[in-house]
Structure formats: C-alpha cells, structure tokens
Structure 1
C-alpha cells in the first residue's frame, strides 16, 4: 500500500491571530503523524523557520522543494514534496514553473499573481523496485492563471504518463466543476482519488478559512493514474476548538497497485511499500 497526503499548511508569516503558525504547528504535525504518509505534498511552506520545523519534525522523510521566487517575502514559499525513505528510493527529481516558459526560474504567465512551481520525483518502491512519478504543486488563484497552470501541468504529465505511473497532489485553487479540474481529471489519464470511493454530492470541501462555513471549497486534490486502485480516501477535519492545523484540511488516500499492469516503467506494477 502507498499512503498519500496533500496538505496546504498556510504560510508561517500570515497574520492569522490565534491560528498563527506558531500556535498551530504542533496540530499540523500531529495530523501528518496520525496518517503516516509515504508521500506528502505540502503547499505554502516557507523556506525559513517553518520549513526548518517540518524537516526537523520529519527526520525519516526526504524533503525536496524549490523557492518559487519573485519579489518580496513570498519568494521563499515552496510546494515541496516529501517521501518516506524507508518506502522509496529516489531515482530523479526536479522542478519547473507553471508558465509559458516553465524552464525559466521565477517565471509566470496568464496574469498570475505569483510564480508557481511543480515539484516532482521519480521513485522506486522498496523492496520491489516498482517505479512511479510523484508530483506536487500549488496553482495560482487568478482565474486565467488557474486554467493556464492546468494546461501547462497537463502537457508535462502527458509526456511522463507514457513511461511512468503518476500520483499528483496539490492545492489547485479551483472547484471540481472548473475547467482546470476537467483538464486534469476529465479523462482516463488521471482519476480523483476521493471521488473513486465516495458518492457524488458528498462533502468534498478542504479549504475552510479556519472554520468559516461560507468559505468552504474542494480545491485540494489527489489525482492518480489507473495503475492504482484507491483503497481509501479521506478529508481530515480534526481541530481543537477554534484552533485548526491550517486553513485547509489535509486530504489523504491509500493506494494499491493494480495487478499485472505494466505501462512502460520496466517493472511489474504489483507492489507494496
């Protein structure tokens, strides 16, 4: 089984009053430990004391993230991916920008408010050697940029899908009726893990703005290729009174490889971690 979590932890310098990072960071860490992911995608993780806390608190994980760059303090934000070293061997990793020039560091397009990155890692499962590509991202929030981000990511994923099973996590800043969702989960390349095991119409909201009912939206997704069977998918809505781990709920999935699938990875897809 492969346990996957996507979690926007809200950047540490935000003026969130009682829900400031320093007050809730132990809750955020507790939710990660409670699930024990093999693959963990974070969003809004600043490469300062916030990322230092994450790295120190998760010593069994490999941490890979690149500054999104751009002007001001937001340049230090990352969309890092983490994987449990006991579960995976790192074969390759990289980062690109969601723009018309994805290879240009700090680039942005489509009236995006900020540069946005995609972190990826090609991983071999221990002990079987089955190979997959894990991808984590955080889309912009301007409508035109969201669609542009989705198209850019889709083009990259189409190339990878030819040779590797895919697991994608992220804060996509878009609801599931959006063009961005249709671009990424509207055909057979990727499926929405949560919707595979929950009936339509079930509460899918992950963003909640620290408990504000009117702000709730299903913008955090775990998407997987059909190499995987979704065993379980949940939204972790844990909190302590008015103190929340973040303004997003973490979303989780438990995956298993489908039997007897080989999609160009060169390894049998029946594996466990």
Structure 2
C-alpha cells in the first residue's frame, strides 16, 4: 500500500506527434460491475469478452475502472497486454473492489502512485467516512508521456452510493490530496470515475467545478451517445439525463469529443454502466 507520493526514475523518450500534428490523449472511465455479483445472464464470465473488446475498440491511452476485482484486472491485462495497471482493494487488507488505473506502457512511465480513502482519515486503509454505506477510495497516478514529453495527473475514484455528505466531502478529500503533491498549474489533471451523483447541480459536481475542474461532456466540441450513464443491463431512454460517471479535467488540455459508449451485442451489455470516453487535444 502506498500512502504518500512515490517517485520513480523514468527514461525520457523521443517527442512525437500524432498523424494530424496535434498531440492527443484518449481517456476512458468504466464501472465494470464487480465480477462476483449474482447477475445471472449478465454475470462477468458472460460479458467479459465484450467488455474487453469495447475497451480495445476505443483504445484509451489511460483507463480508470471502478468495481474492479483483482481477478478482473488480471483478465483484462491478459486480453489487453499493451497496458500496465495498478490497483488496490478498498478493504483494510487490500481485498475487494479497486479503483484500478490502466495505461499504455509503451507511451507512459509511472512517476507517482498513491491510494487513499474517502474519509476523514484518507491515509488509513479501509477507513469509512461520514454517512457512507461502505468503504470508498481513490487511486492517483502521475504519468510521464514519452510521446509529448508532458506529465499528467489522474485520479480515479468511486463515490458512495448512499451518503450525500460523504459524496460532497469526498471532493474535498481529493482536492486536499492533490494540493499535497501539487503539479505545475498548467499540467493537466484528470478526475474520473463513478460519482454516484448527477452532473449538473448535485453537491459533489458543484464542489468539483468550484475547485477548478471542467466537465469534458459539457466542454467538448462534439458529444456522442445518451446523457445517462447507468443502464442496469437494459436499454435506456435516449432522452434521459442522469450522468453519474464523469471525466473532469483542469490544466492545459482541451476536450474535442466526449462519448457515452452505449454499446450492446445481442441484447448483452458490457456492464451495468456505460463507459465514458473523451478525446483530448494537448495544446
């Protein structure tokens, strides 16, 4: 378990540009539904190939997963060997669900890694905060981009599904953690995950925007897919508006496209949440 900023030596690669001479960053957040859930026809073993193929189709450079068990992370790395990944279970002993982060190992080198808990004592493994129903956590990475020579910070998290106070206070925990190891002001910071609160006027969303984050869905030049991110393994009302999975950002980065990936195959969904994908330009 890593509770403070850990630094790693990296080899600096050559700076290259995308084919259109515009450096780009592909980001995805995906609540994959924990693999031991008694979901019958929607059990992990029956949908995992579709889920891995969905990730492969969008080729994210950085991917944050919620509800990821260790066995699920290992399966996805086997199917997607181009990624390195880090995750720690939320319980005191490191078991249970992770807020795992995957990144392309040919493009990125890990500079910092930190796991912390969404509670009054964020450095205490397994701690539970405020009115939360269960233990919640976040994983923070800082990456060196060999392609552009830039550095990025990403926080992947999963807020509580019951506690309203816990959700609002969790934003403060994340912001305080970022301030303890602050990146340069223009360095991109991504805050992604399942926030269990609707984007727009909910307290955690407002708190995140007040902390300087912007919503890729709102700011992107192009939006695709429905404005609802939880599907419960069923088709959704295309006119519904309830985005509880977000890609937020701040710093010198610009969202070009944000998409709710409403993919299914023969009536089967990869998960009970849609993944959210964003394509960013790096000015």
TM interval, shorter chain, is: 0.7 to 0.9
Q: In the alignment, is residue 231 of structure 1 matched against residue 256 of structure 2?
A: yes
Asked whether the 8 Å contact 1:29–1:57 carries over to 2, the reply is yes
Structure 2: distance between partners of 1:89 and 1:124: 5
Q: Choose from 168, 177, 180 the match for 2:204.
A: 180
1:220 aligns with 2:245: yes
Give the equivalent residue in structure 1 for 2:276: 251
Q: Which runs of 5+ in 2 are unaligned?
A: 1-23
Matched, 1:89 2:109: yes
Match of 2:11 in 1: none
Measure the CA separation in 1 of the matches of 2:264 and 2:171.
31
The answer to whether the Cα contact below 8 Å between 2:171 and 2:204 also exists between their aligned partners in 1 is yes
Q: Deviation per CA, 1:232-272, whole angstroms, max 9, x where unpaired? A: 111110101321000000000011122xxxxxxxxxxxxxx
User: 1:139-178 to 2 correspondence within 5 Å?
Assistant: 139-142=159-162, 143-160=164-181, 163=184, 164-176=187-199, 177-178=201-202
Q: Distance in 1 between matches of 2:141 and 2:183?
A: 16
CA distance in 1, matches of 2:83, 2:197: 29
Deviation per CA, 1:150-200, whole angstroms, max 9, x where unpaired?
Answer: 22113223455552420121000000120000111246x211001112699
Distance 1:156 1:60 in 2: 29
Corresponding residue of 1:270: none
The answer on 1:128 being equivalent to 2:152 is: no
Count matched residues. Answer: 253
CA deviations on 1:98-120 (whole Å, 9 max, x unpaired) are 11000111111112122111111
- Contact 2:222-2:258 within 8 A present in 1 as well: no
User: TM-score, structure 1 length as denominator?
Assistant: 0.86
Q: In 2, are the aligned partners of 1:70 and 1:115 still within 8 Å (CA)?
A: no
Match for residue 267 of structure 2 among 224, 231, 242: 242
SS at match of 1:45: coil
Structure 1: where are the runs of 5+ without partners? 259-273
- Tell me the distance in 2 between the aligned counterparts of 1:175 and 1:225: 20
C-alpha contact (below 8 Å) 2:69/2:98 kept by paired residues: yes
Structure 2 partner of 1:63: 85
1:61 and 1:237 map into 2 onto residues whose CA distance is 23
Structure 1 distance, partners of 2:256, 2:182, is 22
**Any idea what SS the aligned residue of 1:78 has?**
coil
**C-alpha contact 1:208 1:217 (8 A) present in aligned 2:** no
